[in-house]
A = this chain, B = another copy of it.
Amino acid sequence: MKRTARPVVAPNTDVATITEDTIRSFAGYNIKRAFNVVQTDLNRTLKPFGLRMVTFTALALIVDNPGLRLSQLAQSLGIERPNLVVIVDDLEARDLITRDKVPQDRRAYALHATLAGRVLRDKSVAAVEEHEKRVYSAVTEAEIRALVQVLRKIESNG
């Protein structure tokens, strides 16, 4: 959060010339803006499949981890249980997943993807790969790996 001089902005100065010293060294806002760009492009990408960022991720996790509990999924997604319920409701209503009773624990439900769910996952994953090529075109593979690593460190700090 270093700050330098504070130049006055002329009446019709271009935004590019605005001093953002405070914000430039404020990583939080960079994460925010980058996230916004990524999410907007991703949601546009997933719209034809009837999916959003969260629903896509939830479906992918259920496909890869059959028998997942709702609370485990919520933790993996980093969202609160109440917010996940409606997401699971949506996926179930569209017959992409099932909520199966667990004999060992009658409070819990085991989540399983249906055939349709697996098919939609595969199709949408392909689209997401295209999206990633587009959004990360200016960044190298190594940079993305480093990015993800740092983001995970930050995340585990919360």
Contact = CB atoms under 8 A, between A and B. Distances in A.
Q: Which of A6, A33, A135 has the most CB of B within 10 A?
A: A33
Contacts of A106: none
Given A28-B39, A147-B150, A18 B68 contact: yes
A125 B1 contact: yes
Copies in the assembly, this chain: 2
A78 B28 contact: no
Interface residues of A, number: 79
Given A66-B6, A78-B36, A26 B57 contact: yes
B60 A22 contact: yes
Tell me what chain A mostly uses at the interface: helix, strand, loop, or mixed.
helix
A8 interface: yes
A138 B151 contact: no
Interface in A43-62: 53, 57, 60-61
